[in-house]
């Protein structure tokens, strides 16, 4: 069951990822990215990351992608010009990419020490309680620094996007 779920969601993620690269209209790319994020949220759940899965859906698929779609609509972004790819890249690109993926998979299998397979429910440390405990004890300083980062980001966004007032 775990294998089937992994294969389904991995296939969704990879197909949506390819679609993101191939599509020429930004809206299609944005929707593909939402698909990738949804599939990844399901995979986080399989890995025992309940909190991260929820945050992935709420923050990424919910907030960030809405922002993207909003900007795409606002700027009325249309289809982009076709790339003129050289024939070498056109016919050799995809096979070379597959070879690259194969080599990467081989290398990862080789480097990764043998470990127990991923079973749903085997790791219980990803709950909101555990993450909260860790976040407010061990990682308290980075967490507080994050608030400064967000403040700077808000200020930067306002300064960049405001109307020029003379």
Ranges within 18-57 binding other proteins (CB under 8 A): 18, 20-21, 26, 29-30, 33, 36-37, 40, 43-44, 47-49, 51-52, 55-56
Residues written for the chain: 166
Query: Taking CB under 8 A as the rule, does residue 73 contact other proteins?
Result: no
Q: Is 98 in the site for other proteins (CB under 8 A)?
A: no
Instruction: Determine which residue in the list 80, 90, 92, 99 makes contact with other proteins, applying CB under 8 A.
Output: 80
What lies within 8 Å, CB to CB, of 131 at 6+ separation is 51, 52
For helices 128-137 and 140-161, give the axis angle rounded to 10 degrees: 90
Nearer to other proteins, 75 or 88 (CB): 75
Query: 56, exposed or middle or buried, with CB in 10 Å at 0-12, 13-18, 19+?
Result: buried
Within 106-145, the residues that bind other proteins by CB under 8 A are: 106, 108-109, 112, 114-115, 117-119, 122-123, 125-126, 130-131, 134-135, 139, 142
Query: How many Å separate Cα 100 from the centre of its chain?
Result: 21
Site size toward other proteins (CB under 8 A) is 78
Look-up of token digits 């597959």: 98
């Amino acid at each position: 069951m775990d294998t089937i779920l992994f294969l389904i969601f991995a296939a969704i993620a990879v197909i949506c990822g390819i679609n993101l690269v191939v599509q020429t209209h930004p809206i299609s790319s944005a929707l593909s990215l939402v698909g990738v994020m949804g599939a990844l949220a399901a995979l986080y759940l399989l890995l025992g990351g309940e909190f991260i899965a929820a945050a992935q859906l709420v923050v990424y698929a919910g907030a960030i992608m809405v922002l993207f779609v909003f900007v795409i609509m606002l700027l009325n972004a249309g289809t982009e010009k076709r790339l003129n790819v050289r024939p070498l890249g056109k016919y050799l690109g995809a096979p070379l990419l597959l070879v690259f993926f194969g080599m990467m998979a081989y290398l990862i299998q080789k480097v990764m020490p043998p470990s127990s397979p991923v079973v749903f429910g085997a790791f219980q440390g990803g709950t909101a309680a555990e993450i909260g405990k860790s976040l407010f004890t061990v990682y308290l300083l980075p967490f507080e620094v994050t608030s400064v980062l967000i403040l700077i980001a808000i200020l930067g966004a306002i300064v960049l996007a405001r109307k020029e007032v003379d």
